[in-house]
Amino acid sequence: MTWHIASGDSMRSLLVMGIPYQHAPEVSIVRTCSCACSCSCLLGATICHQGWQSCASCHPDGRVDGLNWDLLNDGPGNPKNTKSLVLSCQTPPAMSLGVRGSAEEAVRSGLRHTLFAKRHESEAAAIDAYLRSLRPLPSPQLLKGALNKSALRGKALFESTRTGCSTCHPPGLLTDLRSYDVGTRASYDKLTDKFDTPTLVELWRTAPYLHDGSAATVLEVLTMRNAHDRHGRASNLSRRQLDDLCAYLLSL
C-alpha cells in the first residue's frame, strides 16, 4: 500500500500520530520535509502525558480499532465506539455526539483531554495535515472496481423512497452532516442525545457499528438496532433485499 502525502506537514503528522518511518507504509513525498531531523521527539506516544498512548493507538492507519472508549471529550460514563478519521475534516461536526464543531477542534481537544498533554500548535496542525491526506480505499467487495449484481440491486434500494436511506446519506460524502435521534440510545446515553450522521464511506472496514458498537454487522444495524424503522425503512424488505442492501453498503 502506498500513501501519497502532500507536504512535509503530513510527514510530521505520521510521527505525531505514532507511526514511525520504519513501520509506516511506503510514502510518496511531493515536497521534501525540511525538518525531519527534529521530528524524532514526536515518535510514538511521546506527545502523550506519561507516554503511554498515541493517536494511532485507537486510530491505526487513521481508521478504527473496533473498540469502545470512555473519553473525557463528551464527559465520563458514556463509552463510544472509535470512529474512522477518513473524511473527518470534510464531514463536521466531530465525535458521535457532534460535541466538536470540526475535526481540527477535535484534534486539539483530544490532545488535551485524551492524551492529557498541552502541545505546541504546530503539532496539532501536523495532525490536521495527516487527516486531510487520508483517502478512502476501495472495498474488497467490488468486482474489478465495480458493484456486483447484488450490490447494484442494493444501490437501487438505498436510493429509493422505499427505504429513505439516501435522505440522510446523500450522494457524495454520504452524510447530510446533521444529528438525529434514530432510536439507538442505550443505557449509557442521555434521553436528549442525538447522534451525528456518519459518512458511509469505507463502511466495510469500520465494524462494529453505531455510536456504541452495539451492531456487529450492517445487517444488525438495519434490523436488530432499527426499532420502528427510524434508521431506514427496512422492516418491509425481504431477506434477499436486506442482503442486497448490505452488499451495496459494504461496497462503499
Last residue of a domain, one of 106, 133, 160: 133
Whether 240 is in a domain gets the answer yes
Q: Are residues 84 and 196 in the same domain?
A: no
User: Does 147 have pLDDT greater than 70?
Assistant: yes
Q: Residue 183 sits in a domain of what CATH number? A: 1.10.760.10
**Average pLDDT score, the chain:** 84
Q: What pLDDT is recorded for position 12?
A: 41
For the beta carbon of residue 40, count every other beta carbon within 10 angstroms.
Answer: 11
Quote the cell numbers at residue 48. 502523550
Note the pLDDT of residue 47.
Answer: 86
Please report whether residue 98 resides in a domain.
yes
pLDDT value at position 247? 98
The answer as to whether 144 is a domain residue is no
Pick the last residue of a domain from 103, 133, 163.
133
Q: What is the pLDDT of residues 46-97, one digit of tens each?
A: 888 888 888 988 999 999 999 999 887 777 888 999 999 999 999 999 999 9
Model pLDDT, residue 44: 66
Domain hosting 41: range is 2-133
In the chain the first and final C-alpha atoms are separated, in Å, by: 19
- Check which CATH number belongs to the domain holding 62 and give it: 1.10.760
d(CA 17, CA 112): 15
Q: Are residues 154 and 245 in the same domain?
A: yes
**What is the pTM assigned to this prediction?**
0.81
pLDDT at 13: 42
C-alpha cell of residue 228: 420502528
Q: Are residues 122 and 162 in the same domain?
A: no
Q: What distance lies between CA 79 and its chain's CA centroid?
A: 16
Q: Within 13 Å and on the Cβ side, how many CA atoms surround 240? A: 4
Higher pLDDT pick, 187 / 165: 165
Residue in 39, 205, 49, 50 with CA at minimum distance from that of residue 127: 39
66 falls within a domain: yes
Mean pLDDT of 149-169: 97
Quote the CA–CA distance of 133 and 89 in Å, as a whole number.
10
Per the structure, the count of domains in the chain is 2
